[in-house]
Amino acid sequence: MTRTRRLLVDPIRCDAHGLCAELLPEMVQLDDWGYPIVSDQAVPAHLLGHARRAVAACPTLALLFAEAEVAQPARSRR
Ligand code: SF4
């Protein structure tokens, strides 16, 4: 099992400040109203530090980490 982290936005809390997109443009885009569209991909290891900063900087605590255990694919035998 491998632990993965994804980003989630609580749309009730989000006030469309846009800070998350400035801090993590690789994974967050803004829609026409300034609300974040967050990638549904796992946060890659090289972006985890930036993702943590974006989560910590969100002024309304709307940006969250979701952790999941993912089974690794079986390796094929040859
Ligand atoms: S920083 Fe927080 S409040 Fe601002 S757009 Fe991102 S999720 Fe929403």
Structure confidence by residue, pLDDT tens digits, 24-70: 999 999 999 999 999 999 999 999 999 999 999 999 999 999 987 77
Higher-pLDDT residue of 35, 73: 35
Question: How many other β-carbons are positioned within 10 Å of the β-carbon of residue 20?
Answer: 24
Question: Measuring from each residue's beta carbon to the nearest atom of ligand 1, which residues come in under 6 Å?
Answer: 9, 14-20, 36, 58-60, 62-63
Write down the pTM of the prediction.
0.84
Average pLDDT rounded to a whole number, residues 68-77? 68
Write down the pLDDT at residue 76: 56
Total number of domains constituting the chain: 1
Write down the pLDDT at residue 1: 78
Residue nearest to atom 3 of ligand 1 (CA): 14
Within a domain: 58: yes
Copy the structure tokens of residue 63: 């940006």
Q: Which of 45, 13, 17, 49 is nearest to 30 (CA)?
A: 17
Residue 10: which CATH number? 3.30.70.20
Confidence bin at 71 (pLDDT 50/70/90): confident
Within a domain: 76: no
Instruction: Say how many residues make up the chain.
Output: 78
Instruction: Note down the domain range covering 39.
Output: 2-70
Of 7, 10, 13, 17, which is best to mutate to test ligand 1, by the most ligand atoms within 8 angstroms of its C-beta?
17
Question: How many other β-carbons are positioned within 10 Å of the β-carbon of residue 67?
Answer: 9
Beta-strand ranges (E) seen in 1-78 are: 2-9, 28-30, 36-38, 63-70
